């Protein structure tokens, strides 16, 4: 138990912070109920996938600057393919877009491995390329989404054996998020590949000498990142019903949440749970600011300040760790 506490200390602290924020929210707005929580979960969805995408790569010792652009591209692709198409067609669109994210992510990794240009430059160049591609697919916000996809993340679903009061607090968006992340993350974490990802993030040389296929692992880590980003893009299309070619502030948010979630920017440490809780914390802060009737533009400034402060703090910790 003691061991568990020490290993998960950061995540538990973060969870306590989240609970404290929920209590604060309830104090500010006594009427805050399950419906509001549902919209919070819906708002968190694209951010959470962006963070998951970033987390995989950061654990592998890299960074992916093209996360937001990848989300924009997958989102517009999905939206333009589904515009005016039949409901069944979307059944084909979803796997197609996910495969596209996977392949483009693998391309990121492949370019890093083949050209030996540092990840930060490759993904920056890919950011330009993917943004351009998104603009080519859809010049202005538009497109559409299948009704069943939109319904997938709105409202709640009755779960047998649970009282309605509890069920109301489990919005579909949250369930979709948990399902998608668990289906990919848990098997990954237990597999050889997952171990390799942690290994190359921890020490590339040591991993190489112990026989870990470093190049292949790196490519797969970026491919998984692309897959998560594609989920994020789909989530964007699902929640707004359209696709927008200009990416939102997901890149900075993903890095901030990764840092806040206890994943060291050097790699090899941390898990997915911390960053996901961190996303909820960051979003809930925004909700609170909105509930306090603060101008949305000012909210954006405060949010930016918090994210920058978090990233600065994380960098400071990393630096300290390196000096010792």
Q: Which residues bind another protein (CB under 8 A)?
A: 63, 65, 111, 115-118, 120-122, 124-129, 131-137, 139, 245, 249, 251-252, 255, 295, 297-298, 300-301, 304-305, 307-308, 311-313, 315-316, 318-319
Residues in the chain: 324
Shortest distance, position 254 Cβ to another protein, whole Å: 10
Closer residue to another protein, CB minimum distance, 245 or 275: 245
> How big is the CA angle at 35 (ends 30 and 37), to the nearest 5 degrees?
80
Residue 315 sits at φ, ψ, to 5 deg, of -65, -40
Shortest distance, position 76 Cβ to another protein, whole Å: 10
Closer residue to another protein, CB minimum distance, 146 or 263: 263
Q: Is the dihedral of CA 209, 211, 212, 214 positive or negative?
A: positive
Closer residue to another protein, CB minimum distance, 195 or 306: 306
Closer residue to another protein, CB minimum distance, 157 or 301: 301
Shortest distance, position 126 Cβ to another protein, whole Å: 7
Closer residue to another protein, CB minimum distance, 24 or 306: 306
List, in sequence order, the alpha helices (H) in 33-66.
Answer: 34-59
Residue 142 forms beta bridges with which residues? 243
Shortest distance, position 114 Cβ to another protein, whole Å: 9
Beta strands in 76-153 (DSSP E): none
Q: What is the DSSP letter of 211?
A: T
Shortest distance, position 135 Cβ to another protein, whole Å: 3
Shortest distance, position 86 Cβ to another protein, whole Å: 28
**DSSP code per residue over 247-292:** --THHHHHHHHHHHTT--TTSS---SHHHHHHHHHHHHHHHHHHHT
224: exposed, middle or buried (C-beta count within 10 Å: 0-12, 13-18, 19+)?
buried
Closer residue to another protein, CB minimum distance, 121 or 151: 121
């Amino acid at each position: 138990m003691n061991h568990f506490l020490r290993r998960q200390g950061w995540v538990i602290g973060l969870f306590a912070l989240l609970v404290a924020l929920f209590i604060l929210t309830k104090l500010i707005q006594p009427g805050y109920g399950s419906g509001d929580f549902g919209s919070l979960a819906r708002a968190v969805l694209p951010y959470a996938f962006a963070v998951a995408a970033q987390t995989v790569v950061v654990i592998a010792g890299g960074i992916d600057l093209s996360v937001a652009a990848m989300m924009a591209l997958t989102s517009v692709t999905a939206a333009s393919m589904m515009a005016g198409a039949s409901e069944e067609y979307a059944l084909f669109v979803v796997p197609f877009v996910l495969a596209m994210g996977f392949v483009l992510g693998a391309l990121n990794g492949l370019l890093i491995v083949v050209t030996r240009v540092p990840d930060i430059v490759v993904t920056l160049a890919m950011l330009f390329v993917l943004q351009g591609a998104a603009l080519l697919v859809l010049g202005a916000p538009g497109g559409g989404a299948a009704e069943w996809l939109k319904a997938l993340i709105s409202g709640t679903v009755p779960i047998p054996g649970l009282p309605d009061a509890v069920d109301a607090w489990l919005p579909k968006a949250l369930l979709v998020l948990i399902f998608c992340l668990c289906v990919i993350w848990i098997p990954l974490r237990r597999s050889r590949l997952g171990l390799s990802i942690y290994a190359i993030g921890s020490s590339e040389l040591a991993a190489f000498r112990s026989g870990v296929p470093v190049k292949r692992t790196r490519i797969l880590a970026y491919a998984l990142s692309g897959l998560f980003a594609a989920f994020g893009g789909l989530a964007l299309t699902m929640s707004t019903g359209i696709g927008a070619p200009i990416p939102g502030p997901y890149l900075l948010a993903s890095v901030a949440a990764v840092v806040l979630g206890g994943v060291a920017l050097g790699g090899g440490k941390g898990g997915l749970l911390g960053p996901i809780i961190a996303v909820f914390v960051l979003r809930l802060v925004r909700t609170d600011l909105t509930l306090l009737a603060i101008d949305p533009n000012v909210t954006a400034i405060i949010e930016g300040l918090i994210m920058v402060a978090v990233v600065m703090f994380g960098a400071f910790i990393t630096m300290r760790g390196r000096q010792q």
